Amino acid sequence: MNADTHPLPARRCLLRGALTSATALGAGLTVGAAPATAAPRPRHRPATPAQALRALAAGNARWRAFREEHPDETRAVRQELVAGQHPFAVVLGCIDSRVPPELVFDQGLGDLMTVRSAGEVLDEAVLGSVAYGVLELGIPLVLVLGHQSCGAVRATVEADESGEHLPGHIQYIADRIRPVIDRTRTGEARVDATIDANVRLVRDLVAAEPDLAARVRAGELAVVGARYELTDQRVHRVA
């Protein structure tokens, strides 16, 4: 794994320390602001990777059937969340406006921690954000969510075939997707297969991060690849 796809340990520790310090600072600013009160009991949350996966699957089934519950949007929930958050999954997805995780999994406030970048591409900030959810909030599931007709993957494949250099920082995205282009296929099949291959790449990179890998080995965390189909709104795992 090269330096472009796997962050340096020193930088990773620095980021994690900064996030932890920021959390402590935020808590410190509230000291003395109001009388001490017991924090409200958190709502029931999936506590294991398997439970979290089942909750997401159930929510996606409701979304597909147009039977959304729009959970956790009440006044009581909003007030409860002032005291803290207890999300049960990190969803690392694409920025595509057609694939908002809270909607496709029918979840509400405080349920998911979402991190989004074009093509689910990792950089230091994206990986640090995922790690923050797991290490600081104890989230048991990271779901890497690709999707049908991903524009970032298509742009990468087309630029690779034409030799075009993409404008601005878009080339950065393409450079990270290009290694998994499926060259055994052509046309739309190549784009589609590369979408799945990119999900696998990102899933494996996240799972290989040392602090997260330790939790995976302990059974406290699962890092799962999945894909959302625009045609029927179904989310399914990518093996």
Chain segment 66-88, per-residue pLDDT in tens: 999 999 999 999 999 999 999 99
Of the chain, the end-to-end C-alpha distance in Å amounts to 21
Give the CATH fold of the 46-237 domain: Beta-carbonic Anhydrase; Chain A (3.40.1050)
Residue 54 φ then ψ, to 5°: -65, -40
Task: Quickly count: other Cβ atoms within 10 Å of residue 127's Cβ.
Answer: 23
Q: In the chain, pLDDT over 70 holds for what percent of residues? A: 82
Q: What is the DSSP string of the chain?
A: --TTTS--HHHHHHHHHHHHHHHHHHHHTTTTSS---PPPPPPP---SHHHHHHHHHHHHHHHHTT-----S-SHHHHHHTTS----SEEEEE---TT--HHHHTT--TTTEEEEE-GGG---HHHHHHHHHHHHHH---EEEEEEETT-HHHHHHHHHHHHTPPPSTTHHHHHHHHGGG--TTS-HHHHHHHHHHHHHHHHHHHHHHSHHHHHHHHTTS-EEEEEEE-TTT--EEE--
Nearest to 180 by CA among 157, 164, 197, 196: 197
Amino acid at residue number 183: R
Chain segment 154-188, per-residue pLDDT in tens: 999 999 999 999 999 999 999 999 999 999 999 99
Distance CA 124, CA 109 (A): 26
Distance CA 227, CA 93 (A): 9
What's the mean pLDDT in 43-66?
95
pTM as predicted: 0.82
Q: Residue 41: is its pLDDT beyond 80?
A: no
Task: Quickly count: other Cβ atoms within 10 Å of residue 189's Cβ.
Answer: 11
Band of pLDDT at residue 45, cut at 50, 70 and 90:
confident
Chain segment 97-128, per-residue pLDDT in tens: 999 999 999 999 999 999 999 999 999 999 99
Chain segment 184-209, per-residue pLDDT in tens: 999 999 999 999 999 999 999 999 99
pLDDT computed for residue 43 by the predictor: 62
